Amino acid sequence: MAEQGSAESTLLRGTAIFAAAATAVLYLLGLLLAGLAVSEVGSGTNSTPMHHCVSASNAPEDARVETHEVRYLPVHVLCRTTDDRMFNSGVVPSWLNPALAVSFAAAVVLAGAAFVQADRRAAARQAG
């Protein structure tokens, strides 16, 4: 019986570590994509305003893009027009932030479950 509990605990810990690593990789991917897009601004012809903002599919037709703003949670780059409207540039894929949220939640739940199981195993060991 102790072997099975140990294997389950190891599986929970390993899965929690994997989910935490996936969360870190997804977040770093989002930061990399946003950083690369922002680094293009100011270098080269027609680089200001950010070309991702000018060519975005959801850009208002009659608006002129003035600047951009990077948000870190959720990771995205917002474009601001001269009349103060904001829209998403589309630099960060739409699936990234939901995947980031799910992997973070999974890491927290699995780490909590591993902690509870380890605590129960320690209490059972002391009792008998």
pLDDT in tens, the chain (128 residues): 455 667 888 899 999 999 999 999 999 999 999 999 888 876 665 666 788 888 888 888 887 888 889 999 999 999 999 998 899 999 999 999 999 999 999 999 999 999 999 899 889 889 87
* E-strand stretches of 1-128: 65-72, 75-81, 86-88
User: Is the Cβ–Cβ distance between 21 and 14 less than 8 Å?
Assistant: no
Q: Give the DSSP letter of residue 6.
A: H
The letter for the amino acid at 37 is A
Q: Which of 32, 33, 35, 65 minimizes the C-alpha distance to 51?
A: 65
pTM value is: 0.84
